[in-house]
Each structure stands twice: as C-alpha cells, then as structure tokens.
Chain A
C-alpha cells in the first residue's frame, strides 16, 4: 500500500520593518519603506508574490491596501515591474479576518469572522499555492499565539531607526524561536531575513 504525502499550502508572513522592528510609524507612515524601493526589491517582492495565490490580511492593512492598489493598476506613471505586482495584488483572492467589517472594499475579497485556527487549517488543506500575509500586525500576533499557523517569516529590514511606531509583535506569551533560512541584501540597504519557526518541543 502506498501513501501519498499531501503537500500543504504554506503561510508566509512578509513584513517590512525598521531596524528597531516597527512595521510603520505611529500613524501608519510608510515613507521610510517607499524611499528605499527599487527595481531589485520590486523583483524580489514580485517573485515572492507569484509563488502565492492568496493574500491573508487583518482589517487595518486590508482597508489601507484597498485604497491604494486598485488605483495603482491604472496609473500609467507606475513602473512596469510594479504594475505586474499591482495586478497580482488586485487579482489574487484576499481573505480578511475581521469581526467588524461587513462589506468588502476591494475586488476578489472574502471576509472571514470565524475561528482563526480552524479557518487557517481549512485553507492550508485546500489545493492551491502558498498564502502570503502583508502587514497585519494583530493578525500575525494572533497566529503566532495559536502556534503552527505561520510557516515562514520574511522580514525586510530597512536601514532606519524610527524610535516609535507599530511594533512587529504586540506581546507574545512565549518566545518565538526561529531558524534563519536565507538572507539577501538590496541596493538601498534593505536586508531580507527569512526564518522558519523551530518546531515546538513535545511535552509528555
């Protein structure tokens, strides 16, 4: 009897951070990220997104992106490699974990209210490519606390100290030990660090 190992979809958290680990300024400022954008970063972000087919988001990031991406796809002054990225952002299925939003503000979106762990496990078992989370600090922290929901963390560390802002993890009950898997450096000084969580210790 042969059994086939089903390869489950991965959840990848891809996060722009300052050197002091803020995802944005205190009022969601991202100027420090846009200032350091370039063709090499665009290519890397594009490659990462094209390995996925679904974007998981929390409400705040979703609403901000819904205001930004639809208009970018029409923007003729937008660089070509960025238009391809905008197309993926607009065409991919967005799954938004929210208890308060009742109507979607962006095409190809699905609002999910149910149990986070159950929903993520269900999604992982469905056929498809990997799923990517952008921003969404609260959602990421919840998923870390549930354990085992995020398979990879990609941190794009920008060469700037902000001093204040929205932190990467909002408080964890346990340390999150990880294994460094890959690093990459970009012209503007951004460093990409890819980690996988260490498997949890089995307790008797």
Chain B
C-alpha cells in the first residue's frame, strides 16, 4: 500500500502523481521483490482497489506500507470501512533515499 504521510492512497480525483520516486532504484527493486515472492498472493490497495473486506476479516498475513514524504490533505482514505480498530505488530522498517519509509506489520 502506497500512502501519503496523511494516510491517503490517492487524491480526490485519483491523483497519484505525488507517488514519485521514479529515480529510486532501491525502492523500485524492493517493491518488485515483494510482488514477485513465490507462494504468496500480493494484493495492492490503491486508487483502483479499496475493498478492505479481507483486512476486516483478518485474512491478511502481512502488511507493507510505503509512506511517501508528501501530505495531500484529501483523497481516498481506504480504511474508512474497516469496521473496528485494527491493532498490528511492527516487524520491520526501512527508509529509502527518496524519503519513502517502508513499514512492515503483521496482525496482532
């Protein structure tokens, strides 16, 4: 999940231009490595997919949040239909040159 620092996956009209880290090879490689990992189904939540029913039902094993160093103020807040509060356990973090921070969580 690629999030602005204020928790949006896209702007109000679906804008994702702020998700700009095109020159950060390490970030691109890392995202590709996550997506290509054999034996697991990777679901990308973003401007075109914000069905959080699997999250709500506790079907997700791992969460990777990529926090971009930009606040956009308004947009798609995909966790609005999450139902009750969800506690997670931080497993690892990683920072990238372009200022993106990766936060890796598992459900508690």
Contact = CB atoms under 8 A, between A and B. Distances in A.
Contacts of A20: 7, 77, 79
A162 interface: yes
A178 B71 contact: yes
Contacts of A160: 85-88
Contact of A191 (B3, B6, B83, B90): B90
A174 B83 CA distance: 31
Contacts of B85: 32, 160-163
A180 B83 CA distance: 32
A161 B88 contact: yes
A179 to B, nearest CB: 6
Contacts of A191: 90, 93, 101, 103
A19 B88 contact: yes
Contact of A159 (B77, B84, B95, B105): B105
Contacts of A155: 5
Interface residues of B, number: 36
A171 interface: yes
A167 B69 contact: no
A173 B37 CA distance: 39
A196 to B, nearest CB: 10
B67 to A, nearest CB: 7
A36 to B, nearest CB: 9
Contacts of A157: 67, 103
Nearest to A178: B69
A109 interface: no
A189 B90 contact: yes
Given A161-B82, A189-B89, A189-B90, A172 B69 contact: no
B94 to A, nearest CB: 9
B50 interface: no
Nearest to B69: A178
B80 interface: yes
A177 B18 CA distance: 9
A168 B77 CA distance: 12
Interface of B: 3, 5-8, 18, 55, 65, 67, 69-74, 77, 79-90, 93, 95, 99-101, 103, 105, 108
22 contacts: A19-B88, A19-B105, A20-B79, A21-B5, A155-B5, A159-B87, A160-B86, A163-B83, A163-B84, A163-B85, A163-B86, A167-B7, A167-B77, A169-B71, A175-B71, A180-B99, A180-B100, A183-B95, A189-B88, A190-B90, A191-B93, A195-B99
Given A161-B79, A169-B73, A178-B71, 6 more contacts: A160-B88, A162-B79, A168-B5, A180-B100, A180-B101, A195-B99
Top 10 A-B pairs, shortest CB-CB distance? A21-B7, A172-B73, A189-B90, A180-B99, A163-B82, A176-B71, A161-B86, A20-B79, A159-B88, A178-B69
